[in-house]
Structure 1
Amino acid sequence: MTSTLHPLTALTAAGSAAVITTAAGCWPLSLAVALAAAVLAGRAGVGRRVLAAGAAVLLPLGLSLLMLHGLFFSEGRTVLAAWGPARVTQEGLAFALEAGTRTGACVLVLLLFSFTVSTPDLVAALAAKGLPPQFGFVLASALTLLPAMAGRLAAIRAAQEARGLVVGRGLVSRLAAVRVQMVPLVLGLIEDSGSRAQALDARGFGRQGPRTAYRELTDPPAQRRFRAVLLLLAGAAVAVRLAVSWPGTGLP
């Protein structure tokens, strides 16, 4: 994700990496993606910013995962230690490790993109594809708020799990948990987006008519093909995950 990449190529790479990592649900892959993101951030000169923002989000999230799943995992069977109602189980620790590394990889990859992409270039690239400039500015604003969004999602999940939400390893359980967690997150994001949209409309971004672009970006054919391959890989990863997690297959 360096400056030689087209903004849409960097965006596709970050999104595809997050999707593939989430679909795989394999902590060694998640750890490898997180390390790769950290190395690329260091080479791009934003290593400290990415790691600081990632730590602010992931440290409390990791502690909450360890406390909730490491000590109170309802599906745990292999008990390693017990203190009253708290039980350290092998399954709970494995679930916390998998969830923590997966979330860490996604957060670091998206933070790397948000700290290295040029907002004017991203807006110009999206406008060149026919999208309104408001969309580009809202997307760029959302990317700059990724740490806060991830922290908000972690707080929502911790609050709901403290109230009895149980997240199992099966696909149905995870989808149900995602639905419950996404509702308050999306409502909050809609409220924030409404405030930004009003500010953009006040500055004339909602006016109709021809527009003049003062920034032109080259989109090499090789990068367009690379984006297509990444999207195919991400779609294939999701399809495989859905296939192996379908009820009756016996797979997690």
Structure 2
Amino acid sequence: MRLHPFTSLTAAGSTAVITTAAASLPLSLTVIAGAAFLAAAGGAGRRMAPAAAGILVPLVLSLFILHGLFFPEGTSVLAQWGPARVTAEGLRFALERTAQLSASVLVLLLCSFTISVPDLVAALSARGVHARFAFVLASTLTLLPAISTRLARIRQAQEARGLVITGGVFRRLAAFRWQAIPLVLSLVEEAGTRAAALEARGFGNSGARTSYREVPDPPLQRRLRPVLLLAAAAAIAVRLWQPTAGA
């Protein structure tokens, strides 16, 4: 069954909120495994992987450096260099936060890489949202997939002209400057082309609009979305209530 765009957004947002509020390592690992499986099954795994790595790698490294070496509550010292102490408690805390953050990022990326922009624009327009605002919102949600696809094309074109990128991660990062300039220029040019196309199609006009694209919204999904939102709100309420109850 194909998900309505609103259902995809609600499911992704609610899952990220619930995972963050629960702060449970088993739940975070389950969400990570589920997001990876759905991405692979939906054919978005290869496109998601670079974006996920670009977001998570620096964040994960910073978490392990900060909490692994400077965790004040740590008592089980594994190694020490002056004020820096590697503690078991710090490593566990960093692992829990890493899993929690990774779960939220992967779920949101999965939604971004799999949601249909035309369906989302049509669904927003059907709810009375202005066409131009609906397009901007949909384009923002799918910005990472668009950049990932464009960067892959630029890399392929440069490799076809003889640019060979070998070596480790640092060599690839150094070579990224040769891809960043054409990436930015192509995105700026595409933005101007899209603006002209939208204006030609009357996206800036006011008044009622009709659309030839109809997005099915099954009753089951319409009933599911409020349940997901209530579950997210309940998770936040429980999280906020726990410290008070413990005190």
Structure 1 residue aligned with 2:210 = 212
- Post-superposition offset of 1:200: 5.5
Structure 1 residue aligned with 2:240 = 242
Instruction: Count the aligned residue pairs.
Output: 198
Cα 1:128–1:233, aligned 2, differ >3 Å: closer, same or farther? Answer: same
Selected match of 1:8 from 6, 26, 51: 6
Structure 2 residue aligned with 1:95 = 93
Let me know the Cα RMSD of the aligned residues. 2.3
Kindly indicate whether the alpha-carbon contact (under 8 Å) linking 2:117 and 2:142 is maintained by their aligned counterparts in 1. Answer: no
Structure 2 residue aligned with 1:154 = none
Kindly indicate whether the alpha-carbon contact (under 8 Å) linking 1:133 and 1:205 is maintained by their aligned counterparts in 2. Answer: yes
Structure 1: tracts of 5 or more residues without a match: 148-195
Structure 2: tracts of 5 or more residues without a match: 146-190
Cα distance in 2 between the residues matched to 1:234 and 1:240: 10
Structure 2 residue aligned with 1:168 = none
Q: Match of 2:40, as an amino acid?
A: G
Structure 2 residue aligned with 1:49 = 47
Q: Match of 1:45, as an amino acid?
A: G
- Post-superposition offset of 1:219: 0.8
- Post-superposition offset of 1:63: 1.1
Cα 1:200–1:23, aligned 2, differ >3 Å: closer, same or farther? Answer: farther
Selected match of 1:107 from 105, 108, 119: 105
- Post-superposition offset of 1:228: 1.6
Q: Match of 1:22, as an amino acid?
A: T
1:84 aligns with 2:82: yes
Cα distance in 2 between the residues matched to 1:212 and 1:46: 32
Structure 1 residue aligned with 2:184 = none
Identity of aligned residues (%): 61
Structure 2 residue aligned with 1:188 = none
For 1:1-252, list aligned pairs within 5 A.
4-145=2-143, 203=199, 205-246=203-244, 249-250=246-247
Q: What is the TM-score normalised by the length of structure 2?
A: 0.73
Cα distance in 2 between the residues matched to 1:200 and 1:26: 45
Cα distance in 1 between the residues matched to 2:49 and 2:138: 20
Kindly indicate whether the alpha-carbon contact (under 8 Å) linking 1:110 and 1:146 is maintained by their aligned counterparts in 2. Answer: no
Q: What is the TM-score normalised by the length of structure 1?
A: 0.72
- Post-superposition offset of 1:78: 3.2
Cα distance in 1 between the residues matched to 2:214 and 2:56: 37
Query: Matched residue of 2:78: which SS?
Result: strand
Kindly indicate whether the alpha-carbon contact (under 8 Å) linking 1:71 and 1:92 is maintained by their aligned counterparts in 2. Answer: yes
Cα distance in 1 between the residues matched to 2:242 and 2:133: 36
Cα distance in 2 between the residues matched to 1:249 and 1:206: 55
Cα 1:116–1:237, aligned 2, differ >3 Å: closer, same or farther? Answer: same
Kindly indicate whether the alpha-carbon contact (under 8 Å) linking 1:134 and 1:200 is maintained by their aligned counterparts in 2. Answer: no
1:27-82 Cα shifts (integer Å, max 9, x gaps): 21111101100000111011111222212211221111111110112333332221
Q: Match of 1:215, as an amino acid?
A: R
- Post-superposition offset of 1:93: 1.3
Moved over 4 A (4+): 199-202
Query: Matched residue of 1:123: which SS?
Result: helix
Kindly indicate whether the alpha-carbon contact (under 8 Å) linking 1:200 and 1:206 is maintained by their aligned counterparts in 2. Answer: no
Q: Which has the larger radius of gyration?
A: 2
